[in-house]
Amino acid sequence: DPALVWFRDDYRISDNPALTAAAATGAPILCFFIFDESSQGIRPLGEASGWWLHGSLSALDSDLRALGSKLFLFRGSASEIVSRIAAVTHASSIFWNRRYEAAEIALDTGIKKDLVERGITVQTFNGKLLHEPWEIKNQAGKPFQVFTPYLRAVSMRSVAPPLPAPRTITAGRWPADLLDSSVALDDLALEPSRPNWAKGFAAEWNPGEQSARRKLADFLNTELPGYARQRDFPGKDSTSRLSPHLRFGETSPRQIWHASTVRNDGQESDTAKFLSEVVWRDFCYQQLFHNPNLATAPFNSRFGRFRWAADKDALAAWQKGRTGYPIVDAGMRQLWQAGWMHNRVRMIVGSFLVKHLLTDWRQGEAWFWDTLLDADPANNAFNWQWVAGSGPDAAPFYRIFNPIAQGEKFDPNGAYIRAYVPELAGLPGSAIHRPWEASKEILGPAGIELGSTYPRPIVNHEQARERALHAFRMLRAEA
C-alpha cells in the first residue's frame, strides 16, 4: 500500500521531515498538493504570493521527478480530497508537516481524526520552524510576550540538524479516476495574464529550492560579513532576500541555522544578528499560534477603539507611492515592482500609513498581503501590529518615524530613492529627501515640477505628527 505525502508550504525535498519519513517506509510514494481556498477560515492567497506559488510548485515537481516521483495537484476542499485520495489509493499512511494558523490547524485536526478512524497512520512533523510555538516557555510555563528573553531562551537550545534529501523515491501509481480529478498547474491560474503585472518579479526572483540554496550560499559568502551594520540601508543589497523562499518552505530555518553557525571566522556578531532575525520569524509564529486573530484584532484591545481617519484618497496615494515623501514612495513602488520591500522601509511606510495618515493598520496588512511575495500570515500580522503600537512587544504608538530624517539617515545619498522614484533621480542627495524645500534653480534643471511631475507632500509632517499624538491621547484618556 502506498504512503501519501501532502505538501503544504514546504516545497522542498531536503530537510523535509514528512518526505524523508515517507521515503524511509520503503512503500511506494504519492506526492500531492491541494489548492484549497474553500475550507472555512482559509485566507485566500494574495496575487503576488500566487505568482510565487506557481513557481514553487513547478520547481518542486521537477525536483521530485529527478528523484523518480512527481507532484500531483488538486483543487478544492482539502478534507474531501484527502479523504478521497486515501480511499481510492488504499494508502496505509500519510505524512505532512504541521501548520500553525487556527483555520489550518482545525482543518488538519479534522482530517487526521477521520483518517485515523479509518486505520490509516498519520505522521506529522515540524518542517517550518526552529522550535514550535509550544516548545519555548518562560519560567512560569507561559509563552514569552517579549522578544529578548525569548531569544535568550532559544539560544540555550540546540536546533535539530537538517535532513538530507532522500536519494530516490519509489513512485506509487495513481489510480486513473483520481488522475482525472487532478489539475494541471496552469489550471490553478496563479500567474497573472492580462495585464501581466508580474514582469518585474521574474527579473528579480527565481522560486524553487535550488535557487534558495544558491541564494543562501551567496549571502553567507558575500553579504553576511557586515550584515549587522549594513542591514538597515535599503540602497545596499545587504540582506539575504530569503523571505519568499522561507515563506514557501523552499528552505528551512534549520538549514539556515546550521549553514550559518558553522562559521568561526570573526563574523560571529553578523551571524548572531542574522540568526536573530530568523528567530523573530519563529517568535511571530509563536504569537500567531497563541493569538489566532493577529491579522484582524489588535493584540492590545484598547486599540480597537482607535478613531482612524478612513481617508480613501490618502490610502490610494500610499498604495501607489504618490505621497510626496520620497522614501515612502520609493518603498511602495519597490513593493509593487519587485513584490518585496526592504525591512527598514517597511517600518517607515507602515508608520507613515498608521500615524501620518491615521489609517487602520489592517489596511496596510491587507495591501502587503496582496502585493508581497513573502506575505506571511505570522510575520506580516505581527509586524503590522508592531508598527501600529498595538502588538505584543510593539514599538510604542507615540514613537513616530520622521520620514525625512529616516530617509536622510538610511538612504543618505538617495540611491534607493533614485532606483524607484526615477522622476527625482536628478536631485542632489541634499535635496532628494525634501524636494518641496528645494528652490526652482535646483528643481528646474532636474526636470521636476512639484504637483505635476512629482506630488507635493499629502500631509505636513509636523501637523500629521500632532494629529496622531492627539488621537493617541484621546484613546488613552478614554481608557
Which residues of the chain form contacts with ligand FAD (CB under 6 A)? Answer: 231, 239-243, 246-247, 277-278, 280-281, 284, 343, 346-347, 350, 368, 372, 374-376, 379-380, 383-384, 387
Minimum Å gap between C-beta 180 and ligand FAD is: 37
Q: In what order do the strands lie in the sheet with 71-75?
A: 71-75, 29-35, 3-7, 93-97, 121-125
Q: Choose the catalytic residue: 318, 369, 384, 386.
A: 384
Query: Quick check: is 126 catalytic?
Result: no
DSSP secondary structure code for residue 352 in this structure: I
Q: Could you confirm whether 293 is annotated as catalytic? A: no
**Is the CB of 8 or the CB of 70 nearer to ligand FAD?**
8
Cβ(129)–Cβ(253) below 8 Å: yes
Q: Choosing from 174, 361, 367, 369, which is the catalytic residue?
A: 361
Cα of first residue to Cα of last residue in the chain, in angstroms, is: 62
Residue 81, exposed/middle/buried by CB under 10 A (0-12, 13-18, 19+)? buried
Least distance to ligand FAD, CB of residue 206, Å: 15
CA distance 318 to 328: 8
- β-pair type (93-97, 3-7): parallel
Identify whether 384 is a catalytic site residue.
yes
Q: Which is nearer to ligand FAD, 242 or 443 (CB)?
A: 242
Least distance to ligand FAD, CB of residue 350, Å:
4
- The least distance separating ligand FAD from the CB of residue 44, rounded to whole angstroms, comes to 15
Q: Choose, from 80, 191, 308, 436, the residue flagged as catalytic.
A: 308
What distance in Å separates the CA atoms of residue 473 and residue 133, rounded to the nearest whole number?
A: 35
Residue 41 sits at the vertex; the CA angle it makes with 130 and 394, to the nearest 5 degrees, is 50
Residue 361 is a catalytic residue: yes
By C-beta, is 57 or 294 nearer to ligand FAD? 294
Rg over alpha carbons for the chain, rounded to the nearest Å, is 24
Shortest distance, CB of residue 390 to ligand FAD, whole angstroms?
Answer: 13
- Give the C-alpha separation, 393 to 145, whole Å: 6
Which residue among the candidates 343, 402, 423, 436 is catalytic per the annotation? 343
Indicate if 277 belongs to the active site: yes
Q: Are 74 and 185 in contact (CB under 8 A)?
A: no
At 421, the amino acid letter reads: V
Q: For this structure, is 280 an active site residue?
A: yes
Nearer to ligand FAD, 72 or 325 (CB): 325
Q: Which is nearer to ligand FAD, 56 or 243 (CB)?
A: 243
Q: Write out the catalytic residue numbers.
A: 277, 280, 308, 343, 361, 384
